[in-house]
Amino acid sequence: MRTLSGAAILCVATRVWPVSTPTGKIKADATSVLIIVDVQRCFMAGGTLAVPHGEDVVPVINKIAAAFENVVMTQDWHPAGHVSFASSHPGRKPFETIKLGYGKQVLWPDHCVQGTPDAALDKDLHIPQTELIVRKGFHRDVDSYSAFEEADRKTPTGLQGYLKERGIERVFVSGLATDFCVAWTALDARKAAFETYVIEDACRGIDLNGSVAAAWSEMEKRGVKRIQSTDIELGSAQI
């Protein structure tokens, strides 16, 4: 398993399957990758930035991952005092929005601090074929939601090049949270010309003032396909 430190390195009424089985399900092939976004202790119940029911994605992801030859994970990896922390802005509270040099920034509780147990990948993930872990958000002065590009929208993580070099054409996104890191990752995958799917029941959202619905709307506009884990052919790998 490799770790890539890049920056922090989401419609359809009619579905177009990449490779389909006689049952009409999606069969992941060698040109497909499953991206597992930020399934970390900080986003689980009892974590510093718990996503409601975030832990429910783990068994779903473990099950579908068996169908994928190619798997990439991301890991939020913030230094203490990160710009996205409300504690770094005197008088501000978590979940307020401020404007920074690169645009709007939601302020979060301190979370996923480098080297702490809170930042660890969830211990119940069992995906030994994972090829790459992309750590993101490690630059102190810029946040990073997407697996492909930091929030300044100009600093790449290197993931796009890695996937292109590997001959990947289709990206399947899962993890946390639907309305932030999952959506940004899926939208950037589309921007990079990958056929992109978000596995809805393998994700959970934070939902700040309707942000989950807004994320799905934007993803659908950009051609991201919304599917369920049951749409994926597990075959002999089914557990």
Q: What is the pLDDT of residue 20?
A: 52
Q: What is the pLDDT of residue 9?
A: 32
pTM of the model: 0.90
pLDDT at 19: 55
pLDDT at 32: 98
Active site residue ranges: 38, 136, 181
Q: What is the pLDDT of residue 24?
A: 84
* Cβ atoms 24, 232 nearer than 8 A: no
Name residues of the chain where pLDDT drops below 70.
Answer: 1-22, 235-239
For residue 5, the model assigns a pLDDT of 44
pLDDT in tens, 211-230: 999 999 999 999 999 999 99
Spell out the domains of the chain, with CATH numbers in brackets.
2-79+111-237 (3.40.50.850)
